[in-house]
Amino acid sequence: MIRLRGTSIEQRTGIGCAAMLRRALLALLTVHALAATALGADGGDYALGPGDVVKITVFQNPDLTTETRVAEAGTVTFPLVGQVQAAGQSTAQLERAIAQKLRDGGFVNRPQVNVVVLQFRALQVSVLGQVNKPGRYPLEQSKNRLSEVVALAGGVTPLGADVVTLVTTDNGKEKKISVDLPELIRSGDLSRDAVIRNGDIIFVDRYPVFYIYGEVQRPGQYRLERGMTVMQALAVGGGLTLRGTERGLRISRRDPSGAVTSQDAKPDEAVLPDDVVFVRESMF
């Protein structure tokens, strides 16, 4: 059995590569999400709602140009025609409705109306936890993906976990969905990129940790990397001291009921979040 008297180059490289790969995948995810957001931000099939701000223009009638907010009643006020129902309508539907009123009132013979959404406020999602810009964000299209909204919030901070929690509502019941962002990109299966709905909450927890103490060079709390074993945990802790031994390694772990149990640990055993690894002193 190999004794650790400090961290070897191979061990450091193995742990370092895992962390570098995770950061690279998160960066790639952010680039992908920003691009997807940019491609789908025109609001083509977006249903207008209270709080949205729109700009309405009529070709060759600059005096009718109007910037207005959709009222709580779901209407917009336009010169000459008064109030027009906007909530629940797409921009194209609102264009036709305003054009019809202009024709019916005899104000413009062949009106060419254009509606552009300046600010989306009808649909919002909350992004909380370890993101660079937590807060509430408007949904800019009918189908928003989780990765896109995380990108809008500035991406995951270095303290953030890989797995993101989405709290949504399904048939009137609260539902929690876990999405592994790096694995999403690694697998290329973007169908698992959850669709975000109005009122959803995205929460990025702090990265998982483990603890190591006893006869190791650097006891303390460390980030738990994906698939980390007890041997790798020892390497992160700087390896064994001169008095340390791999025989009799112990792990203290909290079970689902909250009770803490202690058990012998093997070098190739997986370390779980919040595990406490104890390295005993050699008796020889």
Tens digit of each residue's pLDDT (9 = 90 or more) over 213-268: 999 999 999 999 999 999 999 999 999 999 988 888 999 999 888 899 999 999 99
Assess whether pLDDT exceeds 90 at residue 7: no
Q: Is the pLDDT of residue 75 over 60?
A: yes
Enumerate domains of the chain plus CATH numbers: 53-119 (3.30.1950.10), 122-205 (3.10.560.10), 208-279 (3.10.560.10)
Q: What is the average pLDDT across 96-125?
A: 91
Confidence of residue 18 (pLDDT cuts 50, 70, 90): low
Question: What pLDDT does residue 20 have?
Answer: 56
Contact 120, 149 (CB under 8 A): no
> Stretch 89-108: mean pLDDT, rounded?
94
Rounded mean pLDDT, 93-117: 94
Q: Please, where are the H alpha helices in the chain?
A: 9-39, 91-104, 146-152, 181-187, 230-236
The whole-number pLDDT of residue 39 equals: 35
What integer pLDDT is reported at residue 233 of this predicted model? 96
Q: What are phi and psi for residue 100, nearest 5 degrees?
A: -60, -45
Per-residue pLDDT tens for 136-156? 988 765 568 899 899 999 999
d(CA 16, CA 23): 11
User: Residue 203 pairs with which residues in a beta bridge?
Assistant: 128, 165
Query: CA-to-CA distance for 198 and 169, rounded, in angstroms?
Result: 9
Q: Confirm whether pTM is higher than 0.85.
A: no
The pLDDT value recorded for residue 41 is 39
**How far is Cα 200 from Cα 197, in angstroms, rounded to an integer?**
6
30, pLDDT greater than 70? no
